[in-house]
Amino acid sequence: MKKKLVIVLFLSFVMLQFLNCFQLYIQAREMYDNKMGSGDKMSTINNNIYFAKSEHEVNDFKLKCDSNQDILFIVVDGQKTKSLNDFILQIGNQLNFPNNCLDNFAGFCDWLTDLSWIRNEVQVIIHIKNYDSFMSTSQENKKLVIKTLKEYILPYWEGKPGTSSVVDCSLNGSPRHFDIFLSNGLDAK
């Protein structure tokens, strides 16, 4: 009889602890939802890689962006970007990386997930034009760059909690719009 009572008390204690933890989770989730707001732009960021139908289409878009202080539009010319180091150098120079990352792809990715010297409100757009020629010396590195951007860098800046995003990995981290446009030199027919 005592054994059953001990088991019942123990199970009651475990259940009470579970309910307390669940209640704390619900409160934390409500606080997060209230902070982000249902219509807040930060809660709906979906960064992506887009393949433009034509170079002209992206150039028109860039002209609209040039007058906006909250958009940093970076152009990488695939014809001048034959290697991974060419890409790292171009992006590092245009984003004003504090340190050089040549021959250090992991360091390059770290800087792409830092950007602390750029205001959080600034949307980053990277346009890789002449994409067919981009990294022509190594298709393996070309695939690595696109995969890293798509699966690591862009989701990081979306800021979805619990996804190793800027919200989870940075003190006071804020999501950021960060998109990639790919295009070829010739307009699509």
Residues of 57-79 as b/e, b for ≥16 C-beta within 10 angstroms?
ebeebeeeeeeeeebbbeebebe
Report yes or no: 75 and 69 within 8 Å, Cβ to Cβ.
no
pLDDT value, residue 58: 84
- Chain center to CA of 157: 3
Max mean pLDDT among 9-23, 28-42, 55-69 falls in 55-69
* Maximal CA-CA distance, the chain: 84
* Confidence band, pLDDT 50/70/90 cuts, at residue 110: very high
pLDDT digits (tens, 9 = 90+) for 23-50: 444 444 444 444 444 444 344 678 989 9
Torsion from C-alpha of 130, 131, 132, 133, nearest 10 degrees: 70
| pLDDT surpasses 90 at 81 | yes
Report yes or no: 106 and 160 within 8 Å, Cβ to Cβ.
no
pLDDT value, residue 60: 81
Task: Out of 18-27, 109-118, 120-129, pick the least confident.
Answer: 18-27
Residue reference for tokens 């807040």: 40
* Confidence band, pLDDT 50/70/90 cuts, at residue 15: low
Distance of alpha carbon 86 from alpha carbon 137, whole angstroms:
11
Residue reference for tokens 């690591």: 152
Mean pLDDT of 112-140: 92
| pLDDT surpasses 90 at 184 | no
Residues in Cβ contact with 153 at an 8 Å cutoff, skipping those fewer than 6 apart? 109, 112, 113, 178
Burial class (CB in 10 A: 0-12, 13-18, 19+), 143: exposed
Which residue did the predictor score with more confidence, 55 or 187? 55
DSSP letters, 67-86, are T-TTEEEEEEEGGG--SHHH
